[in-house]
Amino acid sequence: MAKTFDEIPLTRPSTPLLDRIDRPADLRALPREQLHQVVDELRAYLLYAVGQCGGHFGAGLGVVELTVALHYLFETPDDRLVWDVGHQTYPHKILTGRREQLTSIRQQGGLSGFPNRAESEYDTFGVGHSSTSISAALGMALGAEMAGRQRRSVAVIGDGAMTAGQAFEALNHAAHTKSNLLVILNDNNMSISHNVGGLANYFARIWASKTYIALREGGKKVLSAMPAAWDFLRRTEESMKNMVSPDALFESIGFNYIGPLDGHDIDELLDTLGNIRDLKGPQLLHVYTTKGKGFAPAEADPVGYHAINKIEPKKKLEQAVPKPGPLLKYQDIFGGFLCDAAARDARLVAITPAMCEGSGMVEFSRRFPERFHDVAICEQHALTLAAGLACENQKPVVAIYSTFLQRAYDQLIHDIALQNLDVTFGIDRAGIVGEDGATHGGVFDLAYLRCVPNMIIAAPADENECRQLLYTAWQHPGPAAVRYPRGTGPGVPLADRFNALPIGKGRRVREGRQVAILSFGVLLPAAQAAAEALDATVIDMRWVKPLDEVLIRELATHHSLLVTLEDHQLMAGAGSAVNEYLAASALTVPVLNLGLPDTFIHHGKRDVLLAGLGLDAAGIEQSIRDRLLGLEARAARG
Ligand SMILES: Cc1ncc(C[n+]2csc(CCOP(=O)(O)OP(=O)(O)O)c2C)c(N)n1
Ligand SMILES: CC(=O)[C@@H](O)[C@H](O)COP(=O)(O)O
Ligand SMILES: [Mg+2]
């Protein structure tokens, strides 16, 4: 039985076997009997390492045995192992040559928090957004077949990730191609929240039936001596089997279903995987695991321990679970808006694709359960569901991370904007998100929203403006989006009352001369600091669409340099919108656009990354000074 822990070790545990494993071949050289010790050492080291640096926690603990078994029986990296979401791959990274770097994970210059092809040959596919693993693994299987290569292809997907449409698109196609593909369903009955939906219930019933079968097997010996009782059980068994036959769903679409197995029984895993790894055609192995396995507090609170902060020495364990601080997070501003607006208007209904906690919706879900919908990891469904609600004159709000909204772009255009339906988007994690890195960057939403007719888009500068702009957007009788970042604001007090702000109107923050800084969103404080040094005008633009064109025209007339500032890709962002207006209006004032360059911004601390990109006060000031010098030099040349 695997060892369990009730504290996160603050000193590195002794891991003599693990220390000898610098790549899976070293693991495979060990006798099978030693794998129990490898599992215990790997779990102990994982606890220690994540305690040292913070990061995703429960999911990795839940796949320690599975990771060992997979790298032991499959010839990785030649056999392709594709993880889904990838937040559970810290054990995988430890076994594939990154044990000593694990404490650098999610830090600038350190390991990525997800599999990354540029990081290791064992990271066969870059993930971070869920439900892509089966498609990718099938593509690899087909690719190997085309190349005449004999290699195995394995996708490891969680029960949460399995709720997304793309997972079933891939299952459907795999059944069609009949490729040699192993899909391992890692079922811990958890998403980040508790998993929801018919699929989750189905999986739970399978497990219940497993218990039933164990009872039946156990009972057979006793009952067979009691014909009447045995007859009753057999009749009951028929009805139970129809209700919970585990293979019904997957077998009926063309997969050979195996399981469910105890995903923490390394011997059962090794035996089963050893038997099925060379079976032909699409196979689905269903394993049951516990999120947070082996660490009692995480097993008891898999939501709270989905990710943890770095454990500060001498601080108690509870410091590990992220707790609210003195400043409000933007997600909490959003949650407060939802509750206050819902209390006034029964038409408010809120939807999240499996991000209830991260979107600040826990209180709303408790106070208004009948108007709260966690639709599982189903962003496309979330948006069209909102469209349907709007058709019935409800006023739906979709809470969605900027990066995950990318997955439902057609639904936004085709189902909502084209029909000009009254759907409000609370777009969280807009801008650089920090430790989650490039897969989670919320840096494209202005580009992909701005060009959609009927959309209006707001970018608040602080907590109070966020609340008021959310209310304004929600009041608006059409598609409206408000984007705000991960983390806390500058501490601006919230006005109790809702106060709808004029749509498309900016706010003068500082009167200056020569230079006007047009700030779109939360970089306003940095703009203000730079403006003090430059005696520049500062505008909180508030709206990316519609732009405050009257204000821009006035600024262009009275300043010799306009500077746009945004936490978004420069290409097609808010600055581009200003440029387009100036060009269309034949206004020739010089413009300096400040924002994110045309590259992916990898993991690190958000503020440090922003400073590194020249988007802190010093960087903004320097960029403006450099541009002014350039203008002066050009003027001097005549
Ligand atoms: C498209 C997409 N939507 C949402 C998320 C956020 N997210 C990360 S992990 C997770 C839960 C995944 O559940 P499961 O696959 O069961 O993995 P577990 O954490 O239970 O091991 C979610 C919703 C994501 N990564 N990608
Ligand atoms: C793996 C994944 O996609 C989520 O766990 C994500 O990391 C959550 O991000 P936040 O921490 O910003 O809520
Ligand atoms: Mg799960």
Dump strand ranges (E) for 404-495. Answer: 424-428, 456-458, 480-483
Do 445 and 400 belong to one domain?
Answer: yes
Q: Give every CB contact of residue 566 below 8 A, 6+ residues apart in sequence.
A: 446, 459, 519, 520, 521, 523, 573, 574, 575, 594, 595
- Residue 392 CA to ligand 1 centre (angstroms): 31
Residue 149 to residue 74: CA distance in whole angstroms: 15
180 in a known ligand binding site: no
Do 432 and 560 belong to one domain?
Answer: no
Ligand 3 ion: residues within 5 Å (CB): 158-160, 188, 190
pLDDT digits (tens, 9 = 90+) for 85-107: 999 999 999 999 999 999 999 99
Going by CA atoms, what residue is nearest to atom 11 of ligand 2?
358
Q: Is residue 323 part of a domain?
A: no
Residue 324: pLDDT band with limits 50, 70, 90:
confident
Do 566 and 529 belong to one domain?
Answer: yes
Residue 206: pLDDT band with limits 50, 70, 90:
confident
Q: Is residue 620 part of a domain?
A: yes
130 in a known ligand binding site: yes
Q: Which of 84, 400, 436, 484 to mutate to test the pocket of ligand 2 (most atoms within 8 A of CB)?
A: 436
Which ligand lies nearest to the CA atom of residue 62 in the structure?
1
Is 431 or 210 the better-scoring residue by pLDDT?
A: 431
Do 151 and 276 belong to one domain?
Answer: yes
Residue ranges around ligand 2 (CB below 6 Å): 85, 87, 192, 307, 358, 429, 433, 436, 486
Q: Is residue 13 part of a domain?
A: no
Domain boundary among 260, 287, 303: 303
Would you state the structure tokens that stand for residue 611, as one six-digit string? 């400073």
Residue 454's CB is within 10 A of a number of other CB atoms, namely 15
Do 358 and 407 belong to one domain?
Answer: yes
487 in a known ligand binding site: no
Residue 561: pLDDT band with limits 50, 70, 90:
very high
Do 334 and 447 belong to one domain?
Answer: yes
Whether 407 is a known active-site residue: answer yes
What is the pTM assigned to this prediction? 0.94
Domain span holding position 519: 508-636
- Residue 318 CA to ligand 3 centre (angstroms): 23
Q: What is the mean pLDDT of the chain?
A: 94
- Residue 156 CA to ligand 1 centre (angstroms): 13
Pocket flag, ligand 1, residue 334 (CB < 6 Å): no
- Residue 493 CA to ligand 2 centre (angstroms): 27
- Cα–chain center distance at 622: 34
Atom number of ligand 2 nearest to Cα 355: 13
Q: Is residue 3 part of a domain?
A: no
Do 147 and 276 belong to one domain?
Answer: yes
188 in a known ligand binding site: yes
Amino acid identity of residue 574, one-letter, is A
Q: Which of 132, 192, 433 to mutate to test the pocket of ligand 2 (most atoms within 8 A of CB)?
A: 192
Do 40 and 171 belong to one domain?
Answer: yes
Q: Three-state secondary structure along 564-588? A: EEEEEECCCCHHHHHHHHHHHCCCC
Low-confidence winner among 16-20, 135-139, 221-225, 576-580 (lowest mean pLDDT): 221-225
Is 221 or 186 the better-scoring residue by pLDDT?
A: 186
Q: Which of 67, 88, 92, 130 to mutate to test the pocket of ligand 1 (most atoms within 8 A of CB)?
A: 130
Q: Kindly report the CATH number assigned to the domain that includes residue 579.
A: 3.40.50.920
Do 107 and 201 belong to one domain?
Answer: yes
- Cα–chain center distance at 503: 31
Do 473 and 575 belong to one domain?
Answer: no
- Residue 298 CA to ligand 2 centre (angstroms): 17
Atom number of ligand 1 nearest to Cα 190: 20
What pLDDT sits at residue 216? 54
Atom number of ligand 1 nearest to Cα 128: 25
Mean pLDDT throughout 244-273? 91
Atom number of ligand 2 nearest to Cα 130: 3
Residue 241: pLDDT band with limits 50, 70, 90:
very low
Mean pLDDT throughout 388-405? 98
Going by CA atoms, what residue is nearest to atom 7 of ligand 2?
436
Residue 509 to residue 517: CA distance in whole angstroms: 10
Q: Which of 98, 152, 371, 379 is catalytic?
A: 379
Cis status of the peptide bond prior to 324, with omega within 30 of 0: no
Whether 379 is a known active-site residue: answer yes
- Residue 160 CA to ligand 1 centre (angstroms): 6
Q: Three-state secondary structure along 391-405? A: HCCCEEEEEEEHHHH
| Exposure of 46 in the CB half-sphere (CA atoms within 13 A) | 32
Do 416 and 538 belong to one domain?
Answer: no
- Residue 587 CA to ligand 1 centre (angstroms): 48
Helix, strand or coil for residue 174? helix
How many structural domains is the chain composed of?
3
Say if residues 126 and 115 touch (Cβ distance below 8 Å). Answer: yes
Say what the ipTM of the complex is: 0.99
What pLDDT sits at residue 86? 98
Residue 106 to residue 323: CA distance in whole angstroms: 20
Atom number of ligand 1 nearest to Cα 131: 1
Q: Is residue 503 part of a domain?
A: no
Residue 213 to residue 219: CA distance in whole angstroms: 9
Cis status of the peptide bond prior to 546, with omega within 30 of 0: yes
Q: Give every CB contact of residue 333 below 8 A, 6+ residues apart in sequence.
A: 360, 463, 466, 467, 470, 484, 489, 494
Is 550 or 323 the better-scoring residue by pLDDT?
A: 550
Do 513 and 479 belong to one domain?
Answer: no
Residue 165 to residue 140: CA distance in whole angstroms: 20
Dump strand ranges (E) for 375-468. Answer: 395-401, 424-428, 456-458
What pLDDT sits at residue 242? 46
160 in a known ligand binding site: yes
Q: Is residue 313 part of a domain?
A: no
* 583-to-69, 542, 588 alpha-carbon distances in Å: 61, 21, 7
Mean pLDDT throughout 67-72? 98
Going by CA atoms, what residue is nearest to atom 22 of ligand 1?
192
Amino acid identity of residue 593, one-letter, is N
- Residue 195 CA to ligand 1 centre (angstroms): 10
Which ligand lies nearest to the CA atom of residue 403 in the structure?
1
* Dihedral, 502, 385, 381, 402 alpha carbons, nearest 10: 10
Q: Kindly report the CATH number assigned to the domain that includes residue 478.
A: 3.40.50.970
CA-closest candidate to residue 377, choices 125, 154, 85: 85
Whether 291 is a known active-site residue: answer yes
What pLDDT sits at residue 220? 55
Q: Which of 291, 371, 429, 450 is catalytic?
A: 291
Q: Which residues of 47-84 are buried (b: 16+ CB within 10 A; e: fewer)?
A: bbbbbbbbbbbbbbbbbbbbbbbbbbbbebbebbbbbb
Helix, strand or coil for residue 385? helix
Pocket flag, ligand 1, residue 191 (CB < 6 Å): yes
Residue 419 to residue 424: CA distance in whole angstroms: 14
pLDDT digits (tens, 9 = 90+) for 329-351: 999 999 999 999 999 999 999 99
Structure letter (DSSP) for residue 494: P
pLDDT digits (tens, 9 = 90+) for 433-473: 999 999 999 999 999 999 999 999 999 999 999 999 999 99
128 in a known ligand binding site: yes
295 in a known ligand binding site: yes
Residue 305's CB is within 10 A of a number of other CB atoms, namely 22
What pLDDT sits at residue 226? 58
* 258-to-40, 66, 239, 296 alpha-carbon distances in Å: 26, 15, 21, 29
- Residue 301 CA to ligand 3 centre (angstroms): 13
223 has a pLDDT exceeding 90: no
Strand partners, 516: 537, 562
What pLDDT sits at residue 129? 98
pLDDT digits (tens, 9 = 90+) for 347-377: 999 999 999 999 999 999 999 999 999 999 9
Q: Is residue 452 part of a domain?
A: yes
159 in a known ligand binding site: yes
CA-closest candidate to residue 270, choices 44, 50, 67: 67
* 374-to-178, 361, 365, 521, 629 alpha-carbon distances in Å: 34, 10, 9, 28, 53
Pocket flag, ligand 1, residue 24 (CB < 6 Å): no
pLDDT digits (tens, 9 = 90+) for 166-186: 999 999 999 999 999 999 999
Q: Which of 210, 407, 483, 486 is catalytic?
A: 407
Say if residues 484 and 466 touch (Cβ distance below 8 Å). Answer: yes
CA angle, 69 then 75 then 78, to 5°: 135
Say if residues 603 and 435 touch (Cβ distance below 8 Å). Answer: yes
Say if residues 287 and 246 touch (Cβ distance below 8 Å). Answer: no
Going by CA atoms, what residue is nearest to atom 1 of ligand 2?
87
Q: Is residue 311 part of a domain?
A: no
pLDDT digits (tens, 9 = 90+) for 594-612: 999 999 999 999 999 999 9
Residue 578: pLDDT band with limits 50, 70, 90:
very high
Would you state the structure tokens that stand for residue 422, as one six-digit string? 């009254």
129 in a known ligand binding site: yes
What pLDDT sits at residue 326? 84
Residue 187 to residue 544: CA distance in whole angstroms: 42
Residue 211: pLDDT band with limits 50, 70, 90:
low
Strand partners, 480: 424, 456
